[in-house]
Amino acid sequence: MEVFDELPSTSHSTPRPSHGDGFQSEPDEREALGADQASSLEQPSCWGINTENSIDDISVRVQDLVGKINVRRSEDQKVMDGFQETLVQKVTEVCREMKDHFYSVYDKNSEEMEAKLLELSGVLESCRKLSDELVRASRALAGLRQVVALGHTPEQQ
């Protein structure tokens, strides 16, 4: 994008006639600016400065610089896009590694929990058997108490 091509020109330089005193300036500009400021407009013709060419050269140089800036910005954008792509790949890779690690930890924990659940199941089965035996023993004692209670009636004494 050429910035200066889109802007309307606000100054037009035309060659000024050279005065016999060796300075280039229009008399009406000198009068409008005053003596101090008019002296700054005066340039000796011996310097060989062509105002129109200088402005055109500066304009070309500015356009070249803007073009170089735009090229560098484009290169910077490519670098940033590459960096972003690489970063996304690395983050994706790290996430995949973390998932794999989680799954291996889950598998290990599942195996350990399964072993403990089997052990707990065995303990609970033993508790159930002991509870059944305790209930049978309690019933047997209750029956024995009834037999003993029947055998000791007040009539037998």
Domain residue ranges in the chain: 22-143
pLDDT at 154: 58
CB atoms within 10 A of CB 101: 10
Please indicate, yes or no, whether the overall pTM of this predicted structure exceeds 0.85.
no
**Tens of pLDDT along the chain (157 residues)?**
444 454 444 444 444 444 444 444 444 544 555 555 544 445 544 455 567 789 999 999 999 999 999 999 999 999 999 999 999 999 999 999 999 999 999 999 999 999 999 999 999 999 999 999 999 999 999 999 998 988 876 555 5
The pLDDT tens digits for 111-126 are: 999 999 999 999 999 9
pLDDT at 21: 45
CB atoms within 10 A of CB 33: 14
The pLDDT tens digits for 19-28 are: 444 444 444 5
pLDDT at 29: 47
Which residues does residue 44 pair with via DSSP β-bridges, in sequence order? Answer: 23
pLDDT at 149: 86
pLDDT at 151: 80
Looking at residue 69, its amino acid is I
